[in-house]
C-alpha cells in the first residue's frame, strides 16, 4: 500500500447517525502520497473513486504464479479470469507474466530478480499498474511498489474495486466499504514517519501519537460504526424472516458463479426485473420474489450476489448480512453456466464460499443454464445426478426446473409443532430421535414441542401435530 492520502470524510452511507465529529479528519493533504504512484486504496469506496484510475483506461500487466502441485493451465485460466476482472474494473490487461515457484517469496512474492524483469516489461509496454493474481501481504505490496516503480495490486483489490463501483444501495455500499477498510487497515502506513503537525483538539492524537496512529484509530472507528449499522439491518431481516416462517412458506436461494445467469433465472421464473448484464458482479443486493409451483405450493426465491474463484474473505465477511438469506434457505438453486470452460472449477469455488458462510449442508439443486448456447448444459446435466438443464434466455427447461424445486422442497425438513400427551413418552423420544427439537414447553395436557422433522417422520407423528399442517 503506497502512501495513500488521508481518507476523505466518508459520507454516512446508511443515513443513520452521522460520523462522529472528528477533527482528525482534517489532515494536511500535502503530507501524504509523495511517491510517484497513486495509492491503491487511497479512497473509500462508494464514491466512484477506486483504486483503478478511470479517467482513462489504465494499462495493466498481470502476474500469476504456478505452484508445484498445480499445472500451468490452471494459472492461465485464473489469469484469463483476472483479465476479465480487470476489464470489468475499467482497465486493459496488456501483458501477462507467469512464474513457476515452489513457495512465495516472503518479501517480494515473486523474488527480487523476477520483480526487476517485470519492471522492465512494464516499462516496455508502458503500463501503469501491475496486478498479482494472489493476495499480497502488506509488506510484499510495499516492497513490490518500490521495485516496480508503479502501483502493485492484488486480485482482492480488483474485486473490491468492482464491488465498490457496483454498490448502489446503502447496505451494499456499507458492506463494500467495510470490506475495503478491513483490507486497508493493515496496509496503512507512510504518514507515520512523521509526527502529525496538528496539535491539540478533542479526538486528535495524544502526546507523541503519530499520524499513522490517528489514521488507524479513525479507520477502526468507522469500521466499528459500519459493523453496528449492518448488524441492525441483519436484525431487521431476521424479524422479517421469522414472519415468513410463521406463514410456513419455504425459501430457496439462487447461488452461483458470477455471470452464470442467476438474475436472468429469477426474472424468467417470477415477474422480477433484476438488472441483467454481461458483467461480473452486476448483482450485489438480494431480491426475493414469490414463486408459485405447479403443485400449488409457494416458495420465496431469492437472487443474490455471485461468487468467484479466490473471493476475498473480507468481502465474504462483510457480506454476511446479505448472505444470511442463503444460510437461512431450505434449498439452494445452484446455477452453473453450461458454456463455462471449467464448470467443475466454478462449482468448487461456489461451494468453497458456501462452506465459509456455513451453508454447505443445505440441500442443493444444480441447474446448468444457457442450454441455448450449445450442448454444454445438457451434457453436464446428464452426468450430474438430479441436475436440470435450462435456458433463462429462451425459457427452455423451466417447467422441469419448477417441478424439481417442488420435489426437493417436499423432501426438506420442516418446522412443526406437536403436542405430546404426558403418557406418550415413547412419542416424545421418537421426536428427539428423528428430528431436531428446537423448543419444548411443559403444559397441562402434555409437552408442546417445536421441532424440525423430515416429511416422513412428520407424517408418522401426524396425530400429535398441532401446527405445520402443510405437511403431506
Ligand atoms: N445465451 C444465454 N445467455 C444468458 C442466459 N442466462 C443469462 N445469460 C446472459 O448471461 C449474462 C449474465 O446474466 P445475469 O443474469 O446478469 O447473471 P448473474 O448470475 O445474475 O450475474 P451477476 O449478478 O453479475 O453475478 C447476461 O449477459 C445474460 O444475458 C441464457 O440462458 N442463455
Ligand atoms: Mg445477477
* Contact between 392 and 268 (Cβ < 8 Å): yes
Residue 130 CA to residue 310 CA, distance in Å, equals 18
Last residue of a domain, one of 206, 221, 236: 221
For residues 418 and 401, membership in a common domain is answered with no
| 281 CB near ligand 1 (under 6 Å) | yes
pLDDT of res. 214: 84
Which three-class secondary structure string do you get for 256-291? EECCCCHHHHHHHHCCCCCCCCCCCCCCCCCEEEEE
For residues 129 and 198, membership in a common domain is answered with yes
Domain assignment of residue 346, yes or no: yes
* Contact between 151 and 37 (Cβ < 8 Å): yes
Provide the CATH number for the domain around residue 28.
3.40.50.11060
Q: How many Cβ atoms are within 10 Å of 418's Cβ, its own excluded?
A: 26
Residue 105 CA to residue 115 CA, distance in Å, equals 11
C-alpha 436: how far from chain center: 30
Chain segment 169-214, per-residue pLDDT in tens: 888 899 999 999 999 888 887 533 444 444 444 444 555 667 788 8
pLDDT of res. 245: 57
Domain assignment of residue 243, yes or no: no
* Contact between 394 and 386 (Cβ < 8 Å): no
What are the CA-CA distances from residue 410 to residues 57, 170, 298, 403 (Å)?
51, 36, 11, 11
Domain assignment of residue 4, yes or no: no
| 254 CB near ligand 1 (under 6 Å) | no
pLDDT of res. 243: 63
For residues 320 and 457, membership in a common domain is answered with no
| 261 CB near ligand 1 (under 6 Å) | yes
Domain assignment of residue 123, yes or no: yes
Q: What are the φ and ψ backbone dihedral angles of 402, each rounded to 5 degrees?
A: -65, -40
Residue 263 CA to residue 286 CA, distance in Å, equals 10
Chain segment 298-345, per-residue pLDDT in tens: 899 999 999 999 898 888 988 888 898 899 899 999 999 999 988 999
For residues 78 and 123, membership in a common domain is answered with yes
For residues 394 and 460, membership in a common domain is answered with no
Helix, strand, coil % in the chain, rounded to nearest 5: 40, 20, 40
Residue 87 CA to residue 39 CA, distance in Å, equals 20
DSSP state letters, 148-171 = HSSEEEEHHHHHHHHHHHH--SHH
232 backbone φψ class: left, alpha, beta (φ>0; ψ -120 to 50): alpha
For residues 256 and 133, membership in a common domain is answered with no
Last residue of a domain, one of 367, 396, 411: 411
- 262 Cα to the center of ligand 1, angstroms: 7
For residues 277 and 378, membership in a common domain is answered with yes
Task: Quote the domain boundaries for residue 327.
Answer: 249-411
Q: What are the φ and ψ backbone dihedral angles of 231, each rounded to 5 degrees?
A: -65, -40
For residues 172 and 267, membership in a common domain is answered with no
Domain assignment of residue 7, yes or no: no
Residue 435 CA to residue 455 CA, distance in Å, equals 10
Chain segment 206-261, per-residue pLDDT in tens: 556 677 888 889 999 999 999 999 888 888 777 776 665 555 568 999 999 999 99
- 299 Cα to the center of ligand 1, angstroms: 22
pLDDT of res. 356: 94
Provide the CATH number for the domain around residue 374.
3.40.50.300
Domain assignment of residue 451, yes or no: yes
For residues 383 and 424, membership in a common domain is answered with no
Last residue of a domain, one of 221, 239, 268: 221
- 259 Cα to the center of ligand 2, angstroms: 7
Residue 153 CA to residue 52 CA, distance in Å, equals 10
For residues 32 and 143, membership in a common domain is answered with yes
pTM recorded for the entire structure: 0.78
For residues 383 and 275, membership in a common domain is answered with yes
Residue from 261, 307, 323 whose mutation best tests the ligand 1 pocket (most atoms within 8 A of CB): 261
| 268 CB near ligand 1 (under 6 Å) | no
* Contact between 122 and 93 (Cβ < 8 Å): no
| 370 CB near ligand 1 (under 6 Å) | yes
Provide the CATH number for the domain around residue 436.
3.30.70.240
- Residue 468 cell numbers, joined: 405445520
C-alpha 111: how far from chain center: 31
Q: Which portions of the chain are predicted below pLDDT 70? A: 1-55, 190-209, 241-249, 469-472
Contacts of 246 (CB under 8 A, 6+ apart): none
**Counted domains in the chain:** 3
| 393 CB near ligand 1 (under 6 Å) | yes
Domain assignment of residue 179, yes or no: yes
For residues 407 and 423, membership in a common domain is answered with no
Residue among 409, 395, 455 nearest 295 (CA): 409
Domain assignment of residue 206, yes or no: yes
DSSP 8-state symbol, 371: G
Residue among 195, 204, 271, 188 nearest 20 (CA): 204
Amino acid at each position: 500500500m503506497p502512501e495513500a492520502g488521508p481518507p476523505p470524510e466518508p459520507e454516512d452511507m446508511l443515513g443513520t447517525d452521522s460520523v462522529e465529529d472528528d477533527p482528525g479528519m482534517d489532515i494536511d493533504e500535502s503530507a501524504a502520497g509523495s511517491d510517484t504512484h497513486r495509492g491503491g486504496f487511497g479512497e473509500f469506496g462508494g464514491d466512484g473513486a477506486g483504486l483503478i484510475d478511470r479517467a482513462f483506461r489504465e494499462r495493466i500487466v498481470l502476474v500469476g504464479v504456478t505452484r508445484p502441485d498445480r499445472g500451468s493451465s490452471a494459472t492461465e485460466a485464473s489469469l484469463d479470469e483476472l483479465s476479465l476482472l480487470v476489464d470489468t474494473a475499467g482497465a486493459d490487461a496488456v501483458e501477462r507474466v507467469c512464474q513457476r515457484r515452489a513457495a512465495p517469496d516472503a518479501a517480494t512474492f515473486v523474488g527480487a530478480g523476477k520483480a526487476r524483469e517485470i519492471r522492465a516489461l512494464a516499462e516496455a509496454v508502458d503500463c501503469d499498474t501491475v496486478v498479482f493474481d494472489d493476495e499480497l501481504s502488506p509488506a510484499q505490496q510495499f516492497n513490490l511498489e518500490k521495485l516496480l516503480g508503479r502501483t502493485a495490486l492484488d486480485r482482492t483489490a480488483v474485486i473490491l474495486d468492482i464491488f465498490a463501483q457496483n454498490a448502489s444501495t446503502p447496505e451494499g455500499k456499507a458492506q463494500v466499504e467495510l470490506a475495503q477498510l478491513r483490507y486497508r487497515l493493515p496496509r496503512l502506513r507512510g504518514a507515520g514517519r512523521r509526527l502529525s503537525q496538528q496539535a491539540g483538539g478533542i479526538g486528535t492524537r495524544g502526546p507523541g501519537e503519530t499520524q499513522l496512529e490517528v489514521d488507524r484509530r479513525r479507520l477502526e472507528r468507522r469500521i466499528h460504526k459500519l459493523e453496528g449499522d449492518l448488524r441492525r439491518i441483519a436484525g431487521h431481516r431476521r424479524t422479517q424472516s421469522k414472519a415468513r416462517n410463521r406463514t410456513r412458506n419455504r425459501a430457496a436461494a439462487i447461488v452461483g458463479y458470477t455471470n452464470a445467469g442467476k438474475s436472468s433465472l429469477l426474472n424468467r421464473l417470477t415477474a422480477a426485473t433484476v438488472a441483467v448484464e454481461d458483467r461480473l458482479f452486476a448483482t450485489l443486493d438480494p431480491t426475493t420474489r414469490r414463486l408459485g409451483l405447479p403443485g400449488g405450493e409457494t416458495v420465496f426465491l431469492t437472487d443474490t450476489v455471485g461468487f468467484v474463484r479466490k473471493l476475498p474473505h473480507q468481502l465474504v465477511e462483510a457480506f454476511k448480512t446479505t448472505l444470511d438469506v442463503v444460510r437461512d434457505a431450505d434449498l439452494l438453486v445452484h446455477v452453473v453456466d453450461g458454456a463455462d470452460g471449467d464448470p467443475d472449477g466454478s462449482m468448487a469455488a461456489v461451494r468453497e464460499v458456501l462452506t465459509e458462510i456455513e451453508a454447505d449442508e443445505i440441500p442443493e439443486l444444480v441447474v446448468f443454464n444457457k442450454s441455448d448456447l450449445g450442448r454444454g448444459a445438457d451434457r453436464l446435466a446428464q452426468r450430474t445426478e438430479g441436475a436440470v438443464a435450462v435456458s433463462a434466455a429462451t425459457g427452455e427447461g423451466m417447467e422441469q426446473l419448477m417441478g424439481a424445486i417442488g420435489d426437493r422442497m417436499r423432501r426438506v425438513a420442516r418446522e412443526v409443532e406437536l403436542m405430546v400427551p404426558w403418557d406418550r413418552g415413547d412419542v416424545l423420544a421418537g421426536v428427539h430421535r428423528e428430528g431436531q427439537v428446537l423448543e419444548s414447553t411443559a403444559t397441562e395436557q402434555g409437552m408442546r414441542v417445536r421441532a424440525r422433522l423430515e416429511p416422513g417422520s412428520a407424517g408418522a407423528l401426524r396425530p400429535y401435530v398441532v401446527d405445520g399442517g402443510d405437511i403431506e
